[in-house]
Amino acid sequence: MPDHIKFFESLSGAGKAIAVLTSGGDAQGMNAAVRAVVRMGIYVGAKVYFIHEGYQGMVDGGDNIKEATWEGVSSMLQVGGTVIGSARCKEFRTHEGRLKAAHNLVQRGITNLCVIGGDGSLTGANLFREEWSGLLDELVQQGLIDAEAAKKYYALHIVGMVGSIDNDFCGTDMTIGTDSALHRIIEVVDAIMTTAQSHQRTFVLEVMGRHCGYLALVSALACGADWVLIPEMPPEDGWEEQMCQKLSETRSRGSRLNIIIVAEGAIDRHGKAITSSVVKDLVVRCLGFDTRVTILGHVQRGGTPSAFDRILASRMGVEAVLALLETTANTPACVVSLCGNQSVRLPLMECVQMTQEVQKAMDEKKFEEAVKLRGRSFENNLKTYKLLAHRKPESELPHSSFNVAVLNVGAPAAGMNAAVRSAVRVGITEGHKMFAVNDGFEGFYKGQIKEIKWGDVGGWTGQGGSLLGTKRTLPAKHTEKIAEQMRKHNINALLVIGGFEALESLLQLYDARSSFEEFCIPLCMLPATISNNVPGTDLSIGADTALNAIVETCDRIKQSASGTKRRVFIIETMGGYCGYLATVGGLAAGADAAYIYEEPFDIRDLQANVEHLTEKMKTSIQRGLVLRNENSSENYTTDFIYQLYSEEGKGVFDCRKNVLGHMQQGGAPSPFDRNFGTKISAKAMQWISKKLKETYRQDEGRVFANTEDSACLLGMRRRALIFQPVVQLKDETDFVHRIPKEQWWLKLRPLMKILAKYKTSYDVSDAGQLEHVERNRPKETDASAI
């Protein structure tokens, strides 16, 4: 075992008591966080308690504070809201209320609190922690506890997780519930678009966000809305005329609908509220368009949590328990946050103070500062939206006279169309002439290339599959014909959007540079595959949509067995040799096991899994879920595993099997994939523009780029979006099995096993360390992913 790897066995929770509560507004995914805290807490040997009804339950005590059991959190992963209840509590704001709460906790020996809520809930928890020793002294004076108890429980440790659909907490890229709320909004927008198109209507949608415009901004980006109004960046004076002009232009270009998204806290530059009805009246008065208002309200808080929120909450819940085990009396209260694709711990009050600074900046009408304080993610969202939604007049565009081609390669992935739309519009804004290639490299060598304009990609964001058409054909056998087409159309740069085939294609074009100068141009690849098997990136466009399809189906399959006898479902997922979908889908769906190629297994492992599941079935759970990646083993097929479980489980449970197949590849893209595709594509086009200027030879009047760094993949690595030369990715790749040699998500497998009650080792060497809030991160992070 390597010396640098630190396992959490050294962090024992024996003798400790942890309490978990949800406070403030509810958010989808809170139950996944509660489940993770309970199971991880029990796993490390701690006693774990539920505090029902938030701080009110802590003050009231009694049956509101109950010990949690492993079985008690079964079947809550897919439930929205919070099953342990949440309530706003005026009494906890008083000293007397907090004294009662302290008494109730000390009686049960609880000195570790895991609080899931917004900034108000977390600020209250920190105040409680600061007063703790004084409260215990008072309880001793009043004779309610003895001096020995006060000495034993002298310190209160607090870890927070942010549960808020508004994503209004500084320090984390995403709060629990935000992604699910975006799912609700986008479902409604997609449905409204069809009726709006039928009647040539304008729809004004009001979404939640009293003080934060994140939901409005990101949903506008995800559906390609014509106009968005948010509190952080009120429109300039005269916006009414500008908006009406924009709507009118959109209609004149042939569009049959307009979508305007308004955050409930939207204001103008003078602090006057801009409501959805104000916007509607304005459109009717100035343009005479048939206009309707839809206020989404609490629909956004409801429904099942998305795959992203379940995984985020599960990771945060486990991280919160680890943080509590490592904390000392001098450790400040921390909040578990997401930075890029990594869990981090930040001092709670630093985050709260920065969150309050945003509101202060807005109150003082320092709107630019408010946007910056919201973080790089928010700022980048706003810039990207402006870039894509508002077309500059021809006279204002730079004239670069460069031709850039965009194409899709490999299997279709949801979000590809959003990436193409973004590339086309950013390219046009940069002054380039954009060309679309149909049917990948097969269409390329056949000459299926045509210019694509701004209006041609309208409405593409929400479309699944690949509207350009995509094929698995690689360019190596057709380089001569492709080079001829590039000469014919004078292509100066290439953007390839696709999966593993796209990587192989770029490597082949790079190798062909020595024979054909036509390929000595900037080449950029965006990873887009449901398998998430491309080296150089943690995430690929399309993987989130596929995960949601898997999780939604698993929920339905499990529900089909409710009220029947005990049943185990064997589910086969796609992914080739990459076990990402099986593993992460298993974590999000609450699977008992997930078989993948990267973690070899034999008959003894299968036998151990069956016995483990049989034991659980006898004592607690009614339904079991086992996922298997399609290529996990040549001999241990889905049929074999199904028959083995059926035979070994006789008398305890029966079995059913499902092969999910191509439903994982279809459907409308998730909000995450729409935005990830949109934003990395915009970044790629800006990189291409930069490279074109750098490599243009004035004396020869052409572009010439043959260095390694002119053929890159844009990927998300841990905390940053990075351009990596494809040649350098060769050593990181297993070309036989079409997977990266190292994959970050394998670290999630022990977490899935722990939550399924297996004894295993969990590597905490990569766990979050206490950091400080950065006002300006040096690089754009995966916050930019959504």
For residue 663, what are the contacts with CB-CB under 8 A and spacing of at least 6? 549, 553
Based on the residue annotation, tell me whether 166 is a catalytic residue of this protein. Answer: yes
CB of 388 closer than 8 Å to CB of 678: yes
Whole-angstrom distance, CA of residue 159 vs CA of residue 115: 6
- Reported as a single tens digit per residue, the pLDDT across 456-503 is 998 899 999 999 999 999 999 999 999 999 999 999 999 999 999 999
Enumerate the H helices of 490-542 as residue ranges. Answer: 500-511
Please measure the distance between the N-terminal and C-terminal CA atoms of the chain and give it in whole angstroms: 37
Q: Which residues pair with 184 in a beta bridge?
A: none
pLDDT of residue 7: 47
- Reported as a single tens digit per residue, the pLDDT across 536-545 is 999 999 999 9
Whole-angstrom distance, CA of residue 419 vs CA of residue 710: 20
* Average pLDDT score, the chain: 91
pLDDT of residue 393: 75
Structure tokens at 478: 């057709």
Pairing, β 493-498 against β 654-659: unpaired
Whole-angstrom distance, CA of residue 337 vs CA of residue 304: 22
Q: Which of 26, 119, 166, 555 is catalytic?
A: 166
Whole-angstrom distance, CA of residue 469 vs CA of residue 543: 19
Quickly count helices (H) and strands (E) in the chain: 23, 27
| Conformational region of residue 201, where left means phi above 0, alpha means psi within -120 to 50, and beta covers everything else | beta
pLDDT of residue 1: 33
Give the residue ranges of the chain where pLDDT is below 70.
1-12, 563-564, 620-621, 762-769, 773-786
